[in-house]
């Protein structure tokens, strides 16, 4: 893979940020429309009208961009779109919300048209599909971040998934090969790097299968709430130090310690999400899966760009630090049925 031009990255991030409010509408409105004073039919209208209006505004956006500068229309679209989404937080009147959704639909037509054509115009023919994929992946992250069943639960789940199942497991064979080459002699036996990798991964699954009840019981005694940020911090320290390459024994120990932290974090955060209700469980596992899917792409992109593989460990540490920060607020969550 090749890094797309910065222009594509910038417009993809801007698009992702612009759709946060729209994504929140789909996540929040169906569960709270009664409190806002809306009827089910009005909810249906609000969640669809922005797409209906785009049937016409898409053509308007194309014509405007064809006749004048992209910037002339794109910047106002971002600004107006941002202002429009703030109305969702301050107004409950159906007419106001309907007007905002219609205006947002028009703005998004201009934002999306500009984004797609920017990718096409700044990419060479050889990498067009790859760069369009980057744009879609980054811009779509606004939907992921906008699903705020609870952002804290989701970010913690994302951190657990992107590190253990994503960054470390997917690159472990390569990392071990850098340490030992294609084989190593242990206790008079020659082990290939693939065999050693399989052994380490097998230990991880043994930890999950056999160690989970023991680790969960220990966390019950120590205190589940305080254990979550502690495990994130320990995992960040261990895997971050591993990036300095102190040799195979330390690397093996660091990876196995991380797997212990990961296993227990998954248990504890899953339990915490379950206490909040089924919607939070779905959000947690979705975020965890998203992290697991994105992790290999991050790890192997580091390899693709010929960067030091130590960055894989450092990136893992950064994600766990993010998890530690977000997990500090998990204890403040109340059960939904107690909020009514």
Residue 138 has a pLDDT of 67
- Give pLDDT < 50 ranges for the chain: 149, 335-340
CA quadruple 28, 34, 38, 44: dihedral sign: positive
- Claim: this prediction has a pTM higher than 0.75: no
Question: Which residue, of 98, 126, 146, is where some domain finishes?
Answer: 146
User: Measured between alpha carbons, how far is 260 from 91 in angstroms, rounded to an integer?
Assistant: 47
Instruction: Say how many Å lie between the first and final Cα of the chain, rounded.
Output: 50
Are 73 and 110 in contact, with CB atoms under 8 Å apart?
A: yes
Q: Judge if 211 and 281 occupy the same domain.
A: yes
Distances from the Cα of 29 to the Cαs of 25, 34, 101, 155, 244, in angstroms? 5, 9, 13, 21, 48
User: Measured between alpha carbons, how far is 199 from 210 in angstroms, rounded to an integer?
Assistant: 16
Question: Which residue, of 146, 162, 181, is where some domain finishes?
Answer: 146
H/E segment holding residue 24? helix 20-36
- The angle formed by the CA atoms of residues 189, 165 and 251, to the nearest 5 degrees, is 45
Are 98 and 45 in contact, with CB atoms under 8 Å apart?
A: yes
What number of other Cβ atoms are within 10 A of residue 228's Cβ? 25
Bridge partners of residue 190, in order along the sequence: 185
Q: Judge if 142 and 155 occupy the same domain.
A: no
Question: Which residue, of 119, 146, 173, is where some domain finishes?
Answer: 146
CATH number of the domain enclosing 177: 1.20.1250.20
Task: Please provide residue 124's backbone torsions phi and psi, each rounded to the nearest 5 degrees.
Answer: -85, 165
Instruction: Find tokens 């209700």 and name the residue.
Output: 277
pLDDT in tens, 134-147: 666 666 656 555 55
Q: Which domain holds residue 124?
A: 6-146
Residue 314 has a pLDDT of 94
Residue 254 has a pLDDT of 93
Task: Please provide residue 270's backbone torsions phi and psi, each rounded to the nearest 5 degrees.
Answer: -60, -45
Secondary structure class of 2 (helix, strand, coil): coil
H/E segment holding residue 186? strand 183-186
User: Measured between alpha carbons, how far is 153 from 186 in angstroms, rounded to an integer?
Assistant: 43
Residue 339 has a pLDDT of 34
Residue 27 has a pLDDT of 58
Instruction: Establish if 1 belongs to a structural domain.
Output: no
User: Measured between alpha carbons, how far is 21 from 123 in angstroms, rounded to an integer?
Assistant: 29
Residue 315's nearest CA partner among 303, 331, 299 is 299
Q: How many domains does the chain have?
A: 2
Are 4 and 131 in contact, with CB atoms under 8 Å apart?
A: yes
Q: Judge if 249 and 309 occupy the same domain.
A: yes
Total count of residues recorded for the chain: 340
User: Measured between alpha carbons, how far is 279 from 153 in angstroms, rounded to an integer?
Assistant: 11
DSSP of 156-184, one letter per residue? HHHHHIIIIIIIIHHHHHHHHHHHHTTEE
Phi-psi sector, 183: left (phi>0), alpha (psi -120 to 50), beta: beta
Instruction: Establish if 30 belongs to a structural domain.
Output: yes
Q: Judge if 193 and 331 occupy the same domain.
A: yes
Q: Judge if 321 and 218 occupy the same domain.
A: yes
């Amino acid at each position: 893979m090749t890094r797309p031009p910065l222009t594509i990255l910038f417009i993809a991030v801007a698009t992702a940020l612009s759709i946060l409010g729209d994504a929140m509408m789909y996540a929040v409105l169906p569960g709270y429309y009664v409190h806002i004073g809306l009827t089910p039919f009005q909810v249906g209208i609000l969640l669809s009208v922005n797409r209906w209006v785009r049937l016409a505004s898409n053509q308007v956006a194309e014509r405007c961009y064809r006749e004048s500068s992209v910037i002339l229309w794109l910047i106002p679209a971002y600004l107006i779109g941002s202002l429009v989404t703030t109305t969702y937080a301050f107004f409950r009147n159906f007419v106001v919300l309907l007007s905002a959704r219609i205006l947002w639909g028009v703005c998004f037509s201009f934002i999306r048209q500009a984004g797609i054509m920017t990718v096409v115009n700044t990419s060479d023919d050889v990498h067009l599909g790859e760069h369009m994929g980057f744009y879609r992946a980054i811009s779509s992250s606004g939907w992921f971040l906008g699903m705020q069943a609870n952002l804290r639960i989701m970010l913690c789940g994302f951190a657990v998934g992107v590190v253990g199942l994503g960054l470390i497991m997917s690159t472990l064979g390569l990392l071990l090969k850098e340490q030992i080459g294609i084989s190593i002699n242990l206790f008079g036996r020659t082990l290939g790097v693939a065999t050693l990798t399989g052994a380490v991964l097998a230990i991880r699954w043994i930890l999950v299968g056999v160690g989970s009840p023991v680790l969960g019981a220990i966390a019950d005694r120590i205190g589940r709430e305080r254990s979550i940020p502690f495990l994130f911090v320990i995992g960040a320290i261990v895997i971050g130090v591993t990036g300095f390459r102190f040799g195979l024994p330390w690397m093996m120990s660091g990876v196995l310690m991380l797997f212990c932290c990961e296993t227990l974090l998954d248990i504890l955060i899953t339990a915490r999400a379950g206490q909040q209700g089924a919607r939070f469980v779905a959000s947690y596992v979705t975020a965890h899966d998203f992290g697991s899917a994105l992790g290999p792409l991050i790890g192997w992109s580091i390899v693709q760009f010929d960067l030091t593989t130590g960055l894989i460990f450092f990136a893992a540490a950064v994600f766990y630090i993010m998890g530690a920060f977000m997990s500090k607020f998990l204890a403040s969550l109340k059960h939904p049925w107690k909020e009514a």
